[in-house]
């Protein structure tokens, strides 16, 4: 068994060597602990993954890898997001898990919380996808590992909206606003970290990074919604798009007047 894990490690290593930035090397090493390697091995064994190719992004709390899977002779590109159990800010993420009816039984040790966090992203992606919001298609979740559709090509991920140099931002604003409405109305979900950093642009805007997304029943859902809208309005207005006021936008989404409960957000 250990030999097989070694093999996955080597595959991951190979991808890693391609990267030049040394900070990536360090974070990659930190994220693939033995338990994570076992999960990857299991996913490979079950045919969800074929080969881990390399890191596409490494953040504070997760790394995203490019991976491939073979399906009837066709190679499919995948993104594998691996949450790091060692650096997760427990207090920060607990706010978004607490009170979520889907996660009432989560134990309060770090690993359980991180697993719940990955599960939450998986479930939120599925809800968003079903509501007609363009997100990476979720494929499988196991432990701290989430496998989803790769947005981009040949292992190069699509640019974030912030870097995408969209020629005509107005229709993009309309689409993103429509996504917020669909999330609210159909998925009963608020993204809660929506900004030009968590939207990729690949012919169309694609919403990513939904782990902190909360159901409307969360006690701060409407504050998070207002914050998301504020970010989006600010960004598109900086591109010269004529955007509604925050109050108008909030009313369009919810049908209610905006009342901040926690304006410090």
**What is the total count of residues that contact Mg ion (CB under 5 A)?**
2
Q: How far is CA 94 from CA 176, 189, 211, in A?
A: 27, 17, 12
Catalytic residue among 6, 33, 109, 209: 209
Rule CB under 6 A: is residue 198 a binding residue for ligand ATP?
A: yes
138 binds, among ligand ATP, Mg ion, none (CB under 5 to 8 A by kind): none
CA quadruple 252, 253, 255, 261: dihedral sign: negative
For the CB of residue 257, give the shortest distance to ligand ATP in the complex, in Å: 32
Selected binder of ligand ATP within 40, 49, 52, 151 (CB under 6 A): 151
Selected binder of ligand ATP within 157, 192, 232, 233 (CB under 6 A): 157
Selected binder of Mg ion within 198, 232, 235, 250 (CB under 5 A): 198
Q: Can 50 be counted among the known catalytic residues? A: no
Rule CB under 6 A: is residue 59 a binding residue for ligand ATP?
A: yes
For the CB of residue 23, give the shortest distance to ligand ATP in the complex, in Å: 13
Please name the residue that has the structure tokens 């930035």. 21
Rule CB under 6 A: is residue 190 a binding residue for ligand ATP?
A: no
Q: Pick the closer one to ligand ATP by CB: 137 or 251.
A: 137
Selected binder of Mg ion within 9, 24, 119, 209 (CB under 5 A): 209
Q: Pick the closer one to Mg ion by CB: 160 or 230.
A: 160
Rule CB under 5 A: is residue 211 a binding residue for Mg ion?
A: no
Q: Can 193 be counted among the known catalytic residues? A: yes
Q: Pick the closer one to ligand ATP by CB: 56 or 243.
A: 56
Rule CB under 6 A: is residue 27 a binding residue for ligand ATP?
A: no
Q: Pick the closer one to ligand ATP by CB: 164 or 241.
A: 164
Which pair of structure tokens corresponds to residue 183? 């999330």
Catalytic residue among 24, 193, 223, 228: 193
152 binds, among Mg ion, ligand ATP, none (CB under 5 to 8 A by kind): ligand ATP
Cα–Cα distance for residue pair 77/234, rounded to 1 Å: 33
Are 207 and 133 contacting, i.e. CB atoms less than 8 angstroms apart?
yes
CB contact set of 257 (below 8 Å; sequence gap of 6+): 247, 250, 251
β partners of residue 199: 207
Nearest to 79 by CA among 70, 90, 91, 69: 69
Three-class SS of residue 184? helix
Which pair of structure tokens corresponds to residue 142? 């196991």
Residue 181 exposure: Cα atoms within 13 Å on the Cβ side: 11
Are 84 and 61 contacting, i.e. CB atoms less than 8 angstroms apart?
yes
CB contact set of 6 (below 8 Å; sequence gap of 6+): none
Chain mean position to CA 238? 25
Rule CB under 6 A: is residue 162 a binding residue for ligand ATP?
A: no
Which pair of structure tokens corresponds to residue 153? 């090509």
Task: Catalogue the active-site residues.
Answer: 193, 209
**Contact footprint for ligand ATP (CB under 6 A):** 56-57, 59-62, 64, 79, 136, 148-152, 157, 160, 198, 208-209
**Contact footprint for Mg ion (CB under 5 A):** 198, 209
């Amino acid at each position: 068994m250990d030999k097989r894990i070694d093999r996955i490690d080597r595959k991951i290593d190979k991808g890693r060597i391609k990267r030049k930035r040394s900070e990536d090397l360090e974070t990659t090493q930190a994220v693939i602990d033995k338990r994570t390697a076992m999960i990857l091995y299991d996913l490979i064994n079950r045919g969800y993954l074929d080969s881990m190719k390399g890191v596409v992004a490494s953040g504070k709390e997760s790394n995203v890898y490019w991976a491939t899977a073979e399906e009837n002779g066709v190679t499919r590109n995948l993104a594998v997001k691996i949450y790091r159990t060692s650096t997760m800010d427990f207090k920060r993420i607990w706010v978004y898990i607490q009170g979520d009816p889907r996660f009432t039984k989560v134990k309060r040790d770090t690993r359980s919380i991180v697993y719940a966090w990955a599960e939450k992203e998986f479930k939120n992606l599925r809800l968003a996808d079903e509501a007609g919001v363009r997100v990476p298609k979720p494929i499988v979740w196991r432990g701290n590992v989430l496998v989803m559709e790769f947005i981009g090509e040949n292992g190069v991920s699509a640019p974030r909206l912030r870097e995408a140099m969209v020629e005509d931002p107005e229709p993009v604003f309309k689409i993103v606003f429509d996504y917020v409405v669909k999330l609210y109305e159909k998925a009963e979900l608020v993204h809660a970290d929506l900004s030009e950093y968590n939207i990729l642009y690949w012919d169309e805007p694609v919403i990513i990074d939904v782990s902190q997304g909360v159901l409307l029943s969360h006690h701060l859902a409407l504050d998070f919604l207002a914050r998301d809208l504020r970010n989006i309005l600010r960004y598109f207005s900086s591109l010269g798009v004529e955007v509604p006021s925050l109050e108008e936008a909030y009313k369009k989404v919810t049908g209610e007047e905006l009342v901040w409960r926690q304006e410090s957000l």
